[in-house]
Chains A and B, each alone.
Chain A
Amino acid sequence: MYQELDVVDGLTVAENVYLGHELSTMGFSQRREATKHTRDILRRLGHPEISPRQEVGNLSAAGKQIVSMARALSHDARVIIMDEPSAVLDSEEVANLFRVVKELTSAGVAVVYISHRLEEIREIGDRITVLKDGKTVAQNLPVSETPTAELITLMTGRNVEYVFPETDGVPDEAPVVLDVEGLALRGVFEDVSLTVRAGEIVGLAGLVGSGRSEILETVYGARKASAGKVHVDGRRLRAGSVAGAVGAGIGLAPEERKSQGLLLDEPVYRNVTLSTFSRFARGGFLDERAERSAADEQARYLDLRPKGVDRAIRTLSGGNQQKAMLARWLVHGCRVLLLDEPTRGVDVGARAEIYALIRRLADEGAAVVVVSSEIPEVLGLADRVLVVSEGRVVHEGPAASIDEHQVLDMVMEGSVA
């Protein structure tokens, strides 16, 4: 099982489960047999509602994860390695995943569970092995006796707490930079209004599929709003125009960094200047020297590692790729930053850095909107929080006046209603 989903969308669930080791007699596939076995496995996984004949493309991310797991089981595996299985799941689905893992272990299957979410390891693991920079730094730590702080120390090599930067709060007289009014995208979300002042970080909390990412993308013009207005510094943006949004000073760090944000084979500096290279150019001719030096300046400012903006961005870690995304908008000079899952696939050490960076950008006058599946992250980072559920804003208030459980309650209530 891999971190990135590895199922073929165009095939049915059963075909995916038996992909590569199809049940067959003399070259003819035994569809009925495969369907039956798949149904058994899915039942065992606690998901009898997934039909083996369904096309995988129609399933949710969580459903695909289940199919991926079913495939592992179809091999009659004794050992299952799960690489970040929870990356695409929301908390409810993670709970179900854990239930399945526990069933597996009690049935005698050994499970290696790879995750960067320490609380998950704490919940599901028996023993912990810590890897850092390709080396094992600790192994066989008993979960129950190892404090989280110690794990973080082992992982980062230094004493970083899962802490968020201090903030003095936003002064009341700070001007409103981003003003979203009654924004809607038919069938996904409706009547979303929010204002973000200069220096303020607003968080959007909610489950996967609640419409958080779509809200950001619609503000950005990457999806065309069916109703509502977006103003930046008092000027109205044209709906459905990314160029207009970028021109007005909005930057988006998309949810899927690799597939939506980066040109993986291109050097770092070209990724950093992807939205500004024509500004450096004279008469249509590129000025790569100026691009490089602008990218290099941001790379130093953000402490991008490894140094050197000529290497392909594919070779950077997730955290540094995220920094390069931020660098893109720093070079551009942004009034508004929309950050979708800024720490997905980023290890703990780099997270604290990214949090500090986001706060620093806000302190320098940017209006920031952060979306994250990790509720503590939203609460810790943001000044103000909007809770989104089923495409509606169900709560808005200061981040300090609400805790994780309250957010979860609201989210669940919203989805019941």
Chain B
Amino acid sequence: MSEQKVSVGDAAQQPPAGESHDAGGKDNVPASSSRRSRITAGSFGRNGGLVLALLALFAVGYFTAGDRFLSFNNFTVILQLAAITGVVSIGMTFVITGGGIDLSVGSVLGLASVWATTLATQDMARELGWWIMVLCALAVGLGAGLINGVLVAYGKVVAFIATLAMLVSARGLAELIANRRTQIVDVDSFDDTFKGDFLGLPKIVWIFLLVAVLGWFLLNRTTFGRRTVAVGGNPEAARLAGINVKRHTMFLYGLSGLTAGIGGIMILALTTAGSSTNGTLLELDAIAAVVVGGTLLAGGRGTIVGTVLGVLIFATLTNLFIQNNLDSSVQAIAKGAIIILAVLLQQRLARRS
């Protein structure tokens, strides 16, 4: 986008130069810079509280655990903690912005991790390449998501119920396939591709960053994102404007399922095993991160940056407790408190800006 090259500073209030727009889109009128500064101001207003909360957690970490906390290594650990929940939360952001909810992501992630590691899949992967496992996980995630989508959009089943049913049955199917055993990954090319570091960061962290950036573009810069906001904000208005609301709703759940599939691959890279218990209760972490991030649970407004910050806050919190050898039950209580605090703070800031 040309806007990003324009220097911010000239805030001359001037209507967008409508007549001068051309196919190249290279014009740098002052209007776009004032618009840009307005946008950044707005998103700071919305995300400012989250950044503050994150910094506060860092401060607490520094005072309680010192340099052990404030080291590059530890930040890598935090990012790694955040990565899987993060990817799933990006998908969840779309569903929630579109006015829905997806409770099935944790189970679907588990199912994807199991299906991608069955003996048959691993045999094929050893023969043909690691991408077989990836394709398998993605197909399972997308498939499960589309089933959710068809049920919600065309079957008119309430999203909460449809995805709850998927949560239960996907977990069951995963147990059936894995026979309740963990399936160790024994495909060298898969491990080579997804384990270890790339440019100093774990590869799954890169996947998280990539998904987050793609998610941001998809939500803010594409027709898909615009439809998502329209469908979530006022489905009737979207429908009467000629948007195919049902089809789009189906796609949203498909996308969420797809991110769960990606999460399934990532968990294989992290734990080296497909298991039907992978991703248990992950849906709650994802929903919490999305809502804390500032996405409206009622739909119509969503923020990828907020979701990423929300995920990082929870990951940092977990890390803090581990660093200080604290009880994980206390951690759960703190997590609950953070959800409430963040949302309250969020509302205050939103009212002021």
Does chain A have a CB within 8 A of B18?
Answer: yes
Chain A CB count within 10 A is highest, among B32, B237, B241, B300, for: B241
**Minimum Cβ distance to chain A for residue B79 (Å):** 29
Q: Are A263 and B233 in contact (CB under 8 A)?
A: yes
Chain B CB count within 10 A is highest, among A247, A287, A294, for: A287
Does chain B have a CB within 8 A of A222?
Answer: yes
**Minimum Cβ distance to chain B for residue A408 (Å):** 31
Q: Are A285 and B222 in contact (CB under 8 A)?
A: yes
**Minimum Cβ distance to chain A for residue B294 (Å):** 13
Say yes or no: A266-B233 contact (C-beta < 8 A), given A289-B25, A293-B16, A307-B15.
yes
Does chain B have a CB within 8 A of A77?
Answer: no
Closest A residue to B242 by beta carbon equals A246
**Minimum Cβ distance to chain B for residue A95 (Å):** 32
Q: Are B240 and A242 in contact (CB under 8 A)?
A: yes
Q: Are B223 and A222 in contact (CB under 8 A)?
A: no
Report B1-54 residues with CB < 8 Å from chain A CB: 15-19, 21, 25, 32, 35, 38
Q: Interface 1/0s, chain B 188-212, versus A by CB < 8 A? A: 0000000000000000000000000
Does chain A have a CB within 8 A of B335?
Answer: no
B226 — which chain A residues lie within 8 A by C-beta? 270, 277, 286
Does chain A have a CB within 8 A of B221?
Answer: yes
**How many residues in B have their beta carbons less than 8 Å from beta carbons of A?**
31
Does chain B have a CB within 8 A of A259?
Answer: yes
**Minimum Cβ distance to chain B for residue A266 (Å):** 6
Does chain A have a CB within 8 A of B229?
Answer: yes
Say yes or no: A263-B16 contact (C-beta < 8 A), given A222-B239, A242-B242, A285-B221.
no
Q: Interface 1/0s, chain B 226-242, versus A by CB < 8 A? A: 10011001101111111
- In the complex, A297 Cα to B16 Cα: how many Å? 10
Q: Are B15 and A275 in contact (CB under 8 A)?
A: no
- Select one of A263, A287, A297, A310 contacting B237, CB under 8 A: A263
Closest A residue to B17 by beta carbon equals A293
Does chain A have a CB within 8 A of B179?
Answer: no
Say yes or no: A262-B234 contact (C-beta < 8 A), given A277-B226, A278-B223.
yes
Q: Are B19 and A263 in contact (CB under 8 A)?
A: no
A247 — which chain B residues lie within 8 A by C-beta? 242
Closest A residue to B39 by beta carbon equals A310
Chain B CB count within 10 A is highest, among A247, A274, A277, for: A274
Q: Are A289 and B32 in contact (CB under 8 A)?
A: yes
**Minimum Cβ distance to chain A for residue B173 (Å):** 34
Q: Are B240 and A252 in contact (CB under 8 A)?
A: yes
- In the complex, A328 Cα to B16 Cα: how many Å? 18
**How many residues in A have their beta carbons less than 8 Å from beta carbons of B?**
39
- In the complex, A264 Cα to B25 Cα: how many Å? 29
- In the complex, A310 Cα to B39 Cα: how many Å? 11
Q: Are A274 and B230 in contact (CB under 8 A)?
A: yes
- In the complex, A284 Cα to B230 Cα: how many Å? 16
Does chain A have a CB within 8 A of B224?
Answer: yes
- Select one of A245, A270, A287 contacting B25, CB under 8 A: A287
Does chain A have a CB within 8 A of B73?
Answer: no
A308 — which chain B residues lie within 8 A by C-beta? 15
Does chain B have a CB within 8 A of A254?
Answer: yes
- In the complex, A187 Cα to B239 Cα: how many Å? 23
- In the complex, A309 Cα to B35 Cα: how many Å? 12
- In the complex, A33 Cα to B273 Cα: how many Å? 66
Q: Are A289 and B21 in contact (CB under 8 A)?
A: yes
Q: Are B15 and A277 in contact (CB under 8 A)?
A: no
Q: Are B18 and A293 in contact (CB under 8 A)?
A: yes
**Minimum Cβ distance to chain A for residue B223 (Å):** 4
- Select one of B18, B233, B242 contacting A265, CB under 8 A: B233
- Select one of A274, A285, A290, A294 contacting B241, CB under 8 A: A274
Does chain A have a CB within 8 A of B171?
Answer: no
**Minimum Cβ distance to chain A for residue B16 (Å):** 5
Does chain A have a CB within 8 A of B76?
Answer: no
A214 — which chain B residues lie within 8 A by C-beta? none
A245 — which chain B residues lie within 8 A by C-beta? 242
Q: Are B240 and A222 in contact (CB under 8 A)?
A: yes
Q: Are A296 and B300 in contact (CB under 8 A)?
A: no
Closest B residue to A270 by beta carbon equals B226
Q: Are A286 and B16 in contact (CB under 8 A)?
A: no
Does chain A have a CB within 8 A of B71?
Answer: no
- In the complex, A261 Cα to B239 Cα: how many Å? 9
Q: Interface 1/0s, chain A 43-87, versus B by CB < 8 A? A: 000000000000000000000000000000000000000000000
Q: Are B244 and A281 in contact (CB under 8 A)?
A: no
Residues of A near any B CB (own CB < 8 A): 220, 222, 242-243, 245-247, 252, 254, 259-266, 270, 274-275, 277-278, 281, 284-287, 289-290, 292-294, 296-297, 307-310, 328
5 contacts between A and B (CB under 8 A): A275-B241, A278-B223, A285-B221, A285-B222, A296-B15
Since A263-B233, A293-B21, A310-B35 are in contact, a sample of 16 more A-B pairs with Cβ atoms closer than 8 Å, ordered by chain A residue number, is: A259-B237, A260-B237, A261-B237, A264-B233, A264-B234, A270-B226, A274-B230, A274-B241, A274-B243, A284-B223, A285-B221, A289-B16, A293-B17, A296-B15, A308-B15, A309-B16
